[in-house]
Amino acid sequence: MLQVPFIRENKALVIERLSKRNINATAMIDDVIALDEKRRSIQTELDNTLAESNSISKEIGGLFKSGKVEEANVLKAKTGALKEASKTLTEQLNQAADSLQELLFQIPNIPHESVPNGNTEDDNEEVFRCGDIPKLHKDALPHWELAKKYDIIDFDLGNKITGAGFPVYKGKGAKLQRALITYFLDKNTEAGYTEYQLPLLVNEASGIGTGQLPDKEGQMYHVTEDNLYLIPTAEVPGTNIFRNTVLNEADLPIGITGYTPCFRREAGSYGAHVRGLNRLHQFDKVEIIRVEHPTKSYSALDGMVNHVKGILEALKLPYRILRLCGGDTSFASALTYDFEVFSTAQDRWLEVSSVSNFETFQANRLKLRFKNADGKNELAHTLNGSALALPRILAGILENYQTEDGIEIPEVLREYTGFHKI
């Protein structure tokens, strides 16, 4: 969440940047400042009350020692009133602090200055494009028909076992899925990311720490009896490794990677755009996460973008990169680049990765700090990206690599799959 001192000192900037998200934040920001002033005023009054109570308590001890019992009892009665006052002030302080935090939880991150204005994905800015769109044979099929033809993914069986959005991968389809996961992890570890195997369930504090809660409750599967949540992305458990942590400046940067299944309750609407692997409730993803010094996070973001570029170019898939507009940028992100692969059989672009810099937004919730050169605690910057999300990468491979007599396997994956063609 945004830091209150930053809001107080940069009120006009915060309101102006949030307008990129099509939010008129003036009232919310005024309420934050007013609540903070109320909290600080109560805190000052409480501090003064406690100081007076402590001072009188010491004086009472001296009076009793001097035999001035009557004067001591008068002051003792006063300390009782001060204790009641401090109790009332503490309750008021907690209420003000809770109200302030509740309001801060509702305010998204302020977009970076480079984020374009806009309301929807149609307003995103294309910043890079690579690869030629292949020319397919006249009987080319979309991936869901290829999956059925070659018996590699069974959507009906997944629907029988669980419901729509839970596909079953079979035979060479399952091996290709596993090959992609291993390939992505290998590329990430070669780039210096440490591999982690992470929990698939997280507690409420973890969801709050990365900004999924309280903003995205409707998108997450909630295990109500234990108050745990199935993860929507490895970003949540991975970034929460560093919750309530004070790092040394020399520890930075930190990079981790991990493969997890991901679960999203609200997977989208019906229609061709969500057919097959286009939109799922359960899907596999390999994530990269970085903890960075604030002065180096944007160069790190560029490095993450170039890393994902390299993987897609090795797979020889046509792709483009979009800088998301304010209206399409996620709640916690300051700047996001989306990668999209072109699905030739569907004649449309499919998102396969989002790479984001959250600046201090997550770190403030997580209390993720480092000791800077002056020995003071400072909030770190957090970043994350998909490297990569499996379903649409797989869809792109199936569609773009199809031939009249089968589906070719990208050359870089063949040592992982053990076969060249489906």
Q: What pairs with residue 337 in β-bridges?
A: 323, 355
- Is 40 annotated in a binding site? The answer is no
- Is 384 annotated in a binding site? The answer is yes
What's the pLDDT score for residue 235?
A: 98
What's the pLDDT score for residue 78?
A: 76
Q: Give the CATH H-level superfamily of domain 4-106.
A: Serine-tRNA synthetase, tRNA binding domain (1.10.287.40)
- Is 404 annotated in a binding site? The answer is no
Amino acid identity at 186:
D
- Is 235 annotated in a binding site? The answer is no
- Is 41 annotated in a binding site? The answer is no
| Residues 353, 338 contacting (CB under 8 angstroms) | yes
Amino acid identity at 218:
G
Domain with CATH 3.30.930.10 in the chain: 121-417
CA angle 51, 52, 54 (to 5 degrees): 65
Q: What is the distance between the alpha carbons of residues 205 and 236, in angstroms, rounded to a whole number?
A: 10
- Is 8 annotated in a binding site? The answer is no
Domain with CATH 1.10.287.40 in the chain: 4-106
Which residue's structure tokens are 């994956």? 413
Q: What is the distance between the alpha carbons of residues 20 and 328, in angstroms, rounded to a whole number?
A: 10
How crowded is residue 28: how many other Cβ atoms within 10 Å of its Cβ? 18
DSSP-assigned states of every residue in 113-171: TTPPP-SSGGG-EEEEEESPPP---TT---HHHHHHHTT-EEHHHHHHHT-TT--EE-H
Q: What pairs with residue 128 in β-bridges?
A: 321
Tell whether domain 121-417 is in CATH 3.30.930.10.
yes
Q: pLDDT tens-digit profile of 334-352?
A: 999 999 999 999 999 999 9
DSSP structure class, residue 156: H
Q: pLDDT tens-digit profile of 174-227?
A: 999 999 999 999 999 999 999 999 999 999 999 999 999 987 778 899 999 999
Q: Which of 336, 361, 349 is nearest to 392 (CA)?
A: 349
- Is 265 annotated in a binding site? The answer is yes
- Is 264 annotated in a binding site? The answer is yes
Q: Which of 176, 159, 193 is nearest to 390 (CA)?
A: 176
Name the pTM for this structure.
0.93
Q: Which residue numbers in the chain have pLDDT < 50?
A: 269
Q: pLDDT tens-digit profile of 300-333?
A: 999 999 999 999 999 999 999 999 999 999 999 9
- Is 287 annotated in a binding site? The answer is yes
- Is 4 annotated in a binding site? The answer is no
Q: What is the distance between the alpha carbons of residues 400 and 141, in angstroms, rounded to a whole number?
A: 10
